[in-house]
Amino acid sequence: MRRWAGVCAVVVVVAGCGGGSGTGAAGAEGDDLGGTLTVLAASSLTESFTTLGKRFERAHPGTRVQLSFAASSELASQVTAGAPADVFASASPETMRQVVDAGAVEGRPAVFARNRLEVAVPAGNPGDVTGLADLARPELRVALCAPEVPCGAAAEKVFAAADVEPAPDTFEADVKAALTKVTLGEVDAALVYRTDVRAAGSDVEGIEFAEAAEAVNDYPVAVLRDAPNRAAARAFVAMVRSEEGLAVLSRAGFERP
């Protein structure tokens, strides 16, 4: 219920901005961009896209970047339901494919980053977790992403590759929710993206494991077909894929495509 309220709020905000950006875009048919650019991005992109959004605003004065972060699958349903956004950056090609199949994307999505899973534990590692196999210990509190969201699908892949039967206590609706439980110390371990571990700072320690290579996530980005601010959308995607964008992304823990 709350999520729907959130969706509605985004829709209202976006619709409100749409009017403004219409006039802005009309005046910006040439090189200079303007108006509001609405970017829907996977939760794991929160830090890097916030940075990129600020840089984009600085590079194009008069343009306002409106970022909305959520589980990719949720964003995909927003897009297919007609939320008027300009750019969609997903944490998985499968989720992007839903949007492409719905005919909501302009051109072809481009992979701009890759991410892999890590075991996240609270600072001090109270559960003495050393690797993926520990997530099968029943006495530990373990959070995994639900299989419906990309990080959960990736988790299933690495467990299959490692032949580990995990013993989770909860299936989280998105990767940040799983991370929050680690940050609060309410679980002993969670399987999240490396970028999330890095973003969490000193509250969270990351443990790498070899099987993570079996489920490296591609992150595709695309300009949406009904983008109200197409020119800015294209410029933003170009920036994400530029050397500058890649540098920001790799600082956040992403790998190059």
Partner 1 sequence: MTRDGRASSRDDRPSGLPSALLPLAALGLLFLMLPVAGLVVRAPWSTLPDLLTRPESLDALRLSLLCATLATLVCLVLGVPLAWLLARARFRGRAVVRALVMVPLVLPPVVGGVALFTAFGRRGIVGRPLDDWVGVSLPFTTPAVVLAEAFVAMPFLVIAVEGALRGADRRYEDAAATLGASSWYTFRRVTLPLVLPGLAAGAVLCWARALGEFGATITFAGNFPGTTRTMPVEVYLALQRDPEAAIALSLVLLLVSVAVLAALRERWLGVST
Residue ranges that bind partner 1, judged by CB under 8 A: 1-3, 71, 73-74, 77, 141, 143, 146, 148-149, 168-173, 177, 180-181, 184-186
As measured in angstroms, the least distance from the Cβ of 229 to partner 1 is 27
The answer to whether 143 and 187 are in contact (CB under 8 A) is yes
Tokens of 218: 């591609």
As measured in angstroms, the least distance from the Cβ of 164 to partner 1 is 18
Residue (3 or 54) nearer to partner 1, CB: 3
Question: Among 107, 78, 118, 119, which residue's Cα sits nearest to residue 95?
Answer: 78
As measured in angstroms, the least distance from the Cβ of 176 to partner 1 is 11
As measured in angstroms, the least distance from the Cβ of 33 to partner 1 is 33
Q: Which residues are 117's β-sheet partners? A: 193
Residue (134 or 211) nearer to partner 1, CB: 134
Tokens of 102: 């719905």
The residue with tokens 């995909």 is: 76
Residue (134 or 174) nearer to partner 1, CB: 174
Neighbours of 16 (CB within 10 A): 11
Residue (140 or 235) nearer to partner 1, CB: 140
Tokens of 172: 């989280």
